[in-house]
Structure 1
Amino acid sequence: MEYRELGRTGLRVSRLGFGGIPIQRIDEPGTRAMLKAACEAGVNYIDTARAYTVSEEWIGQALEELGLRDRFILATKCRALTKEEMESELAQSLKNLRTDHIELYQFHNPSLAGLETILAPGGAMEALLEAKAAGVVGHIGITAHLAAVFERALSVKEIETVMFPYNIVEQQGAELIDRCAAAGKGFIDMKPLAGGAIEDGRLALRYVLSNPNVTVAIPGMADPKELQANVAGSDATAPLTPEEQDACQKVRDALGTQFCRRCNYCAPCTVGIQIPSCFLFQGYLDRYGLEGWAHERYNTLKVKAGACIGCGKCETRCPYNLPIREMLKKVAADFGE
């Protein structure tokens, strides 16, 4: 396993991390087995979130029972925007993870407006800075799905790490990843397998980790076979061979007409549908098998996919020429509205 410094945090992390979203679809014994195997494989970075239902709790229980807390760097996140909300969410994370400190605490996918609330007086940043001064939080990061939020985060000195989607088919953050490294911030890659859309896990991780500015990739894992495939993809970070580059292009060709990169160029929707979010939650339903959680997240949308009036304006803005109207019909059918 290769290890890298996570920006300027002083944390030395394995380039393959453990993504905790799929923990929700296994159980406590399965979580223990996965974390034990991950540790034995040299993985020392765990990512989870308050929003991932039982993920924090089962990870905390497993680390305590296995006696492995000190072998892992824990990273979690929450959607709090205000200081009061963050204090409450952080306290719950500490309780769930059964620890007195968390190495990296992140703002979970705020909008641009939400990030400004976080940074304003009385915002969530104040709570994390106080927790950092007290030694409860080691470092502060942010996760994002929109390039505009990623770019804004690069100008915030208190934010030490950025998490963003990057893989064979999602390239909207490529230039920002380079700027992230130049700014001395660690880059954490979410969705290295495009949420499971890329079936060849070894190739997907080879592609991601061949980029020297990617510090750690965090594929979701719930099965020992997934762990084995991901470890195989992380054990060689040399430049891609011509054959691997050809294979990557075949993946792009296969997914290019049906895969949303969440660049948000389709916005604004005439009736207010959050189009990328619809496709994101559908991915959790189709590829992660998280039916209950996907429905819960989808139900937070004020305007559902079924509200589409078929005007087609979104499709004229999409740089990937996606058939968005047809894709929204499938979302509506899958979620029932």
Structure 2
Amino acid sequence: MEYRKLGKTGLELSLLGLGGFHLLEIELDTVKEIVKRYLEAGGNYFETARSYGDGVSERKLSTVLPKEGIVVASKTGSRERQSSEKDLLSTLKALGRDHIDILFLHAVTKNDYWEAISSSDGALKTVEWAKREGLIRYVGITSHGYGGTLLKALKEYPFDLFMTQMNYYDRFNFPEIETKVIPYAVSNNIGIVAMKSLADGYLWRSVENAFRYTKTIPVSCIVSGINSLDQLEEDLKLIEKDPFSPEELEQLFFEVPELGNYVCRQCMKCL
């Protein structure tokens, strides 16, 4: 397994990360098998969220995760200090840990959300308190879709890392992710974690292309939702594939069936 540094945190993450949402779909015995195989393959990044089954994903992971040698992240979707603090304490209890490595402020997709989070009684107060108390080590933010709010938040608060969707379909629907957010993060040594390489399954016909595409982006980790051993084995093979060259990317955008003749590639050739 390849490992990459997570920005200014100094953490080294396995290139393939194990997402926690799809653990809701499977029995605990299967979760144990997946985690065991993932660890054997060198995986070390586990990510869940308080909202995944109201803590069900966290509780499933608590039964199988080793106490040391891994990186554990969870998320709160709460915008206010009091509710986000409650989320974090519930997360720690569900995971059976006295601290986690990363807490994400989850799905910050609108300016209104960010204004609430960064207000005098917002969730930023929770992460600052949690850092002081040693309950978390690093602070992240996640987004879905439009990247304008994400960029605004990264500029206004010293986040350690961020995570959002990174795939060749959303590249053209939300171009600011790759044209603005990622360059800003790279220049400021902010860690970058990718999710939704398959665009929520939309790229199911082109799984290898989807993984190779995300590897061309300067990410520290590609988080994948996995609900079977077969899926994990396939992902472990795909994560070893080479990224695309610039010439291969251009050909990819021209040929892939998902973009069809209705998604603008923004290549400006029509001009």
Q: The TM-score by the shorter chain falls in which range?
A: 0.7 to 0.9
CA distance in 2 between counterparts of 1:103 and 1:92 reads 15
Backbone CA RMSD of aligned residues: 2.1
Q: Is the 8 A contact 2:195 2:224 kept in 1?
A: yes
Specify the alignment match of 2:158 in structure 1: 158
Change (3 A) 1:100 1:209: same
* Residue 57 (structure 2) pairs with residue 55 (structure 1): yes
Conserved in 1, the CA contact under 8 Å of 2:213 and 2:243? Answer: no
Q: Distance in 1 between matches of 2:249 and 2:152?
A: 34
Given candidates 223, 226, 233, the residue that maps to 1:221 is 226
* Residue 178 (1) aligns with residue 183 (2): yes
Label 1:85 to 1:258 Cα distance change in 2 as closer, same or farther (>3 A).
Answer: farther
| 1:315 aligned residue | none
Shift of 1:203: 2.5
Q: Does the Cα contact within 8 Å between 2:203 and 2:258 map onto a contact in 1?
A: no
In structure 1, list runs of 5 or more residues that go unmatched. Answer: 260-318, 321-337
TM superposition score normalised by structure 2: 0.87
Equivalent position of 2:32 in the other structure = 32
Return the structure number with greater relative CO, CA threshold 8 A, min gap 6: 2
The residue correspondences of 1:1-337 to structure 2 (distance < 5 A) are 1-53=1-53, 54-63=56-65, 68-110=66-108, 111-145=110-144, 146-171=146-171, 172=174, 173-175=177-179, 176-199=181-204, 200-211=206-217, 213-240=218-245, 246-247=251-252, 249-251=254-256, 253-256=257-260
Residue 240 of structure 1 deviates from its aligned partner by: 4.0
Q: Are the structure 2 counterparts of residues 45 and 257 from structure 1 closer, same or farther at C-alpha, using a change threshold of 3 Å?
A: farther
Structure number with the higher strand fraction is: 2
Cα distance in structure 1, aligned partners of 2:119 and 2:246:
47
- TM-score by structure 1 length? 0.71
Task: Look up the match of 2:268.
Answer: none
Identity of aligned residues (%): 28
| Residue 258 to residue 43, structure 1, CA distance change in 2 (3 Å) | farther
Structure 2 CA distance, aligned partners of 1:38 and 1:99?
20
Query: For the structure 1 residues 256 and 179, does the alpha-carbon distance in structure 2 shift closer, same or farther, using more than 3 Å as the test?
Result: farther
Q: Is this contact kept in 2: 1:177–1:214, CA < 8 A?
A: no
- The structure whose Rg is larger is 1
Structure 2: distance between partners of 1:230 and 1:249? 25
Q: Is the 8 A contact 1:201 1:230 kept in 2?
A: no
Q: Is the 8 A contact 2:77 2:105 kept in 1?
A: yes
Take 1:18 and 1:159, find their aligned partners in 2: how far apart are those partners? 22
Aligned residue type for 2:131? K
The answer to whether the 8 Å contact 1:94/1:100 transfers is yes
**Alpha carbons 2:253, 2:259 under 8 Å: kept:** no
